[in-house]
Structure 1
Amino acid sequence: MRLIIAEKPSLARAIAQALPGSGRRQDGYIDCGDTRVTWCFGHLLEQAEPEAYDPRYKRWHLEHLPIIPDQWQLKPRADARKQLSLIKKLAKESDQLVHAGDPDREGQLLVDEVISTFRLGAARQQQVQRLLVSDLTPAAITRALKALRPNSEFIPLSVSALARSRADWLYGINMTRLCTLKGRQAGYQGVLSIGRVQTPLLALVVQRDASIASFSPHDYFEVDACMAMAQGRAEAFRARWQPSEACEAWCDEEGRVLSARLADHVATTITNQPATVSGVDRKQKRQGPPLPYNLSTLQIDAAKRFGMSAQQVLDTCQALYERHTLITYPRSDCRYLPKDQHGNAPGILASLAGSAPSLRDALKGADSSRESKAWNTRQVGAHHAIIPTGRALDADKLSQAEQRLFELIARQYIAQFHPAWCFQDTRIELRIEGGTFVANERIWQTAGWKALFQKETTQETPNSGTQANPGALDDIKEGATLWCLRGERLDRTTQAPAPFTDASLLSAMTNIARFVTDAELRKVLRDTDGLGTEATRASIIELLFKRSFLRRDGKSIRASEAGKALVSQLPASMTTPDMTARWEAELNAISRREAGYQGFMTQLVEQLTPLIETLGNQSFTDFSALPAPPGKKATGTRRRTRKSSGGRSRTTGKSPT
């Protein structure tokens, strides 16, 4: 008898549908003849609360800190005891176990924790197999069942996830209790939760708000040369002045001219003067389609286009994946596809043509034999980009949000089978009375995949200078003499940084490396794709709102007074993403067998005591005048996150990252 342990009921049902046999639903499992499929629903086991290690810890006291378990304990969730007992019973009756957790670090740990309670002998432990499912259609699961791998290959991934879980417990439990107790001493009755991801994220918003508040606008000036092909001819294009080093005394740190008098002087000087073409740079360019979505890029696009929050996108994607089986695994951090799935393209495109009328125009010209750069097996890890599964779409069964996200995902996939966008960029450099002026021109030659994205098919302007009308610069050659009809001063005003929105905050999390000063740490965060994971970013943002550290002001996301006060009390080591980068470097090394669990945990424990001493000596006076968060008060328990069948995490009682 074979037992497959799925991460959640929806996955178990999908696996059972792909297996031969009657598929009879039993209490807690599905009987498919010689195979039984059972399921978890999130973490059936979770880190024990501090009071499990010592009853004294049930009440929060500064003298208890740091709390560091000697022997870590996992406790069955109260609502999971029955299912856990059933899985153990089924395992005893089986001679083959198959791990079918989600194909990521957390999914690996979730089922491994359950298997560890079986206390299997070494020989049987080696026989456990791993089923990797990223597409819930029967055909995809059938392929996955034929490609089982030894679960032992994924032990380092599980150890890495376990180290992350315990480190987050140590850091979150100790620092949250410490800050909450210090806040109480100052009169604040809210919970001041701390996490290695949530706290630097909060600090980003606090710092952005501070930059906006302290911003002082100033005027600056640009100069355009209105150019003709010869004296007496009409204006053909404009070229933008490029201030030289001699102008630095009149410029700000970004090279913008602050002197109206200087700009007027330049404009007057170049009027009715010849111009020499000192440089011509014409380049034929082609740009392939944007890669298919991972979760973060989908969340960013959906926030920009539809105003959806990160959590709304994740929840909607879960429905498209589990309930409708229209898309592949949604919590993916990968934007590439394995080459062996390219053969599925004709079927997927055909299904879209038959069931998605809104995509029919996009499907025109799609060539299923075309292979974009997205098809790169070496870039694919445990899961690939989010794409349609090829199942026929019944639009009447989808909500508006589901339809919108499905169309985004499908359009991005269809783009892979359209030709490249081809264009010519021309850059002309002019010398007029000793000054340098630049004009740019972009001529579209083939729209290609760009035609699929109507809002993006405008003639984009190259990065510097002005944009000439298409064709205006075609016949200009280096060394030619043109004529400047007049110079024009353009008055500008600097703009304050924009407040964060759902889209820009997610973008900041995925590009967090730019906020890190250490070059090596920047590389780590670039390689690990930012702050938090695809699965946790939405829940971390939501947690900061629930803690009343963030608030919404229309589409803008702002820090609350409590959020500002918390960041002001903490040392830089807790409010910058550097610590997360160090953790990720170590955790990735563990997953590659290049580092050990014990060294990582020992280093963290050694850092806790001095950090607690530093914060313990501070008075949280900034909290003395703040009321408790609406409808909340500090208590002796904390909230925790655990995986659920509907998403990567949900709020229940211990602090997340």
Structure 2
Amino acid sequence: MRLFIAEKPSLARAIASAFPGPQKKGDGFIQLPGGDCITWCIGHLLEQAEPEDYSPSYKRWSFDTLPIVPDIWQLKPKANTKKQLAVVKKLIKQADQIIHAGDPDREGQLLVDEVLHYCQTAKTKLSQCQRLLVSDLNTNAIKKALGKLQSNGNFAPLSRSALARSRADWLFGMNLTRAYTLKGKQVGYQGVLSIGRVQTPILGMVVKREQEINAFIPHDFYQVEALIRTPDTQTFTAKWVPSEACQGHMDEEGRIINPKLAEHVANRITDKPAAVSKAERQQKKQPPPLPYSLSSLQIDAAKAFGLSAQQVLDICQSLYETHKMISYPRSDCRYLPTEQHQEAGAILSAINRTTSAYQPHVIACDPKRKSRAWNDKQVGAHHGIIPTQSLAAYSKLNANEQRVFDLICRQYLVQFLEDYEYRASRIELIIEGGVFVAQGNVPTKLGWKALFKQDKKTSDELPNVTEQDQLWCEQGVLLTKQTTPPEYFTDASLLAAMTGIAKFVVDKELKKVLRDTDGLGTEATRAGIIELLFKRQFLYRQGKQIRPTPAGMRFIESLPASLATPDMTARWEMILNRISHNEADYQSFLNELVANLRQQIDTCQQQRLTALADLPASPKTNPKRRYRKANTASSGKGRRSTKRQPNSHTNH
């Protein structure tokens, strides 16, 4: 008997649809013709054991027992899924061959792997276990995936990475939460002070932004523009580019802060000749944006419709699982496998039949066009989010579901439209020894940009001049401007910060090695982490702005910078990613983490958290559930499978 173990019931039913009948539905499984069987998990069937499961002495919170570091890690069945675990365990023993059908990401890999090891699956069965990768729940897509089974052993690094993340979250969150809660009690604070390796730096970023805005003092700065006339009476404006000699009159951003200097330049260039030192006119092309990853979709949906990250994730899960209208949504990839291109014609036809909004543009699409999105080297376990061929349920979608789906459609359609083309002009002038520059772009072919709203601003067409042409500066214009404070975070900008964390890392050496795409958390967890901070009453919303509460402010101000900044966890995320590619060692990562954890606890013991003395208590937490779901919360699997909000304060 071949046994398929799906991540959740909906995936099991989708796999079953790819097999002929008759099929028999059992209690926790589906029997296929010929004796094969499909069973399922319900998200994580197992969870990390709690400290008191390792030793009764850990039930009492005390610095004497910290840090708690298990010698042998334990998992235990989740109370509400014990029955299904028993079904899976029984079927594993009966199976001749096992096919792992977890979701195509690192947590999906771990979710089934941990069940196989917990059930003490025979080594022979484990070595022969195969992997089914399903990123599209439509029957035809699943049939294709069934024809491409791989050895499950190929995905061991992915599983180790998820395991490292799960155990790191447990160690970091549980130990430091206990430590800081104990210190809080010493000054009279009675609530739980929750620490997480991702949630705390994210809160720290929001608090730091609030502090920067509160401390911001505006100052004036000055720009000089030259109004230029050509011999044939065409006019344009060029901006002054201050030289190095002006450094002493600039702020940190390179803006002139000396009004007398700027006024002198404006007066000096008025009614003076302007010599063209450089004149460039180039025809340029811009390829279409890549298909969406989850985070890039969440960012665009937040900007366009004001949807939160969690709302977009929930909508995507519905579009994927319930309506089967999009591919696997929890993807961090924006590329597509080359093989997928052969489905382009069918998907374009489905879009054309489904939504009138894009029908004129679908006609212009060339299904043979292959944009840079199709790149096998950039595709890992899953690919970018795209529409499927089964779009009949579109009319049943609510307004927000249609909005998000339309974004996904647009991002797919542009792959089959021509590049955006424009003429880029740049003129550099010398006026009284100073350098002035004018730049302009003129669209020559909209191409894929026809699907996007165009700026009302007219194009910046510059005159066609050549080097050594003699123009005339009719007037120098002094512009007085004022600096503005940083903007408060919104859902879009906070997600962007989490996905491109290098910009917010303090350590200059770490900045150098982090890629633009290195981020905090994963596609599956970011929305939950943000929502968790609201639930803990550390953040609140003011319109679109995300602001820290007084409790959030005071808490972060009481923590050492190593916990409140993203440097440490950004480095960990980078290593976890390397583990998933078999480029770093799991045990070395955990050893370094434990060493760092001991230092953090020592630092905590030496502090006196006086700022927390009158801090309002955090929301009450059931102590029996306080450390549960460390695996589930960190992966985001529990929420999407059981529709519960994550409630473990060790969640990142």
1:115-142 per-residue CA deviation (whole Å, 9 max, x = no partner) reads: 1123222222111110000011101100
Separation in structure 2 between the aligned mates of residue 649 and residue 246 of structure 1, nearest angstrom: 62
Partner of residue 640, structure 2: 646
Partner of residue 620, structure 2: 632
Partner of residue 64, structure 2: 63
Determine helix, strand or coil for the equivalent of 1:386: coil
Q: Is the 8 A contact 1:640 1:651 kept in 2?
A: no
Aligned partner of 1:395: which letter? Y
Partner of residue 30, structure 2: 30
Determine helix, strand or coil for the equivalent of 2:43: coil
Alignment of 1:562-641 (within 5 A): 562-629=551-618, 631-632=619-620, 635=623, 638=626, 640-641=628-629
Determine helix, strand or coil for the equivalent of 1:133: coil
Separation in structure 2 between the aligned mates of residue 339 and residue 619 of structure 1, nearest angstrom: 58
Compute the displacement of 1:360 (Å).
1.0
Separation in structure 1 between the aligned mates of residue 644 and residue 443 of structure 2, nearest angstrom: 45
- Cα distance, 1:583–1:322 mapped onto 2, change above 3 Å: same
Q: Is the 8 A contact 1:295 1:331 kept in 2?
A: yes
Separation in structure 2 between the aligned mates of residue 594 and residue 490 of structure 1, nearest angstrom: 54
Compute the displacement of 1:593 (Å).
3.5
Deviates most, 215-224 or 561-570: 561-570
Separation in structure 2 between the aligned mates of residue 401 and residue 547 of structure 1, nearest angstrom: 27
Structure 2: gaps spanning 5 or more residues = none
1:554 aligns with one of 543, 567, 579: 543
Determine helix, strand or coil for the equivalent of 1:419: coil
Q: Once superposed, what is the RMSD of the aligned Cα atoms? A: 1.9
Separation in structure 2 between the aligned mates of residue 217 and residue 326 of structure 1, nearest angstrom: 49
Partner of residue 106, structure 1: 107
Separation in structure 2 between the aligned mates of residue 217 and residue 482 of structure 1, nearest angstrom: 37
Q: Is the 8 A contact 1:280 1:478 kept in 2?
A: yes
Compute the displacement of 1:241 (Å).
1.2
Alignment of 1:328-347 (within 5 A): 328-347=327-346
Compute the displacement of 1:518 (Å).
4.2
Deviates most, 524-533 or 71-80: 524-533
Partner of residue 14, structure 2: 14
Q: Tell whether 2:254 aligns with 1:255.
A: yes
Q: Percent identity?
A: 55
Separation in structure 1 between the aligned mates of residue 247 and residue 585 of structure 2, nearest angstrom: 53
- Cα distance, 1:35–1:635 mapped onto 2, change above 3 Å: closer
Compute the displacement of 1:64 (Å).
2.2
Deviates most, 360-369 or 415-424: 360-369
Separation in structure 2 between the aligned mates of residue 61 and residue 459 of structure 1, nearest angstrom: 67
1:578-604 per-residue CA deviation (whole Å, 9 max, x = no partner) reads: 222332343334334444333222222
Separation in structure 1 between the aligned mates of residue 67 and residue 265 of structure 2, nearest angstrom: 66
Aligned partner of 1:308: which letter? L
- Cα distance, 1:654–1:219 mapped onto 2, change above 3 Å: closer
Compute the displacement of 1:618 (Å).
0.7
- Cα distance, 1:260–1:184 mapped onto 2, change above 3 Å: same
Q: Is the 8 A contact 1:190 1:634 kept in 2?
A: no
Alignment of 1:478-557 (within 5 A): 478-518=467-507, 521-522=510-511, 525-526=514-515, 529-557=518-546
Q: Tell whether 2:109 aligns with 1:121.
A: no
Q: Is the 8 A contact 1:524 1:585 kept in 2?
A: no
Compute the displacement of 1:634 (Å).
8.4
Deviates most, 637-646 or 444-453: 637-646
1:543-572 per-residue CA deviation (whole Å, 9 max, x = no partner) reads: 111111111111111112222222222222
Structure 1: gaps spanning 5 or more residues = 461-468
Q: Is the 8 A contact 1:339 1:377 kept in 2?
A: yes
Q: Is the 8 A contact 2:194 2:649 kept in 1?
A: no
Determine helix, strand or coil for the equivalent of 1:600: helix
Compute the displacement of 1:36 (Å).
1.5
- Cα distance, 1:354–1:152 mapped onto 2, change above 3 Å: same
Q: Structure 1 length normalisation: TM-score? A: 0.94
1:413-438 per-residue CA deviation (whole Å, 9 max, x = no partner) reads: 00000000011111001111121111
Aligned partner of 1:644: which letter? G
Partner of residue 454, structure 1: 453
Q: Is the 8 A contact 2:502 2:516 kept in 1?
A: no
Compute the displacement of 1:56 (Å).
2.8
Q: Structure 2 length normalisation: TM-score? A: 0.95
- Cα distance, 1:529–1:604 mapped onto 2, change above 3 Å: closer
Aligned partner of 1:616: which letter? Q
Aligned partner of 1:603: which letter? E
Determine helix, strand or coil for the equivalent of 1:30: strand
Determine helix, strand or coil for the equivalent of 1:364: helix
Determine helix, strand or coil for the equivalent of 1:98: strand
Separation in structure 2 between the aligned mates of residue 596 and residue 208 of structure 1, nearest angstrom: 35
1:39-73 per-residue CA deviation (whole Å, 9 max, x = no partner) reads: 11111001011111122322322322111222211
Partner of residue 384, structure 1: 383
Separation in structure 1 between the aligned mates of residue 257 and residue 595 of structure 2, nearest angstrom: 52
- Cα distance, 1:268–1:653 mapped onto 2, change above 3 Å: closer
Partner of residue 55, structure 2: 54
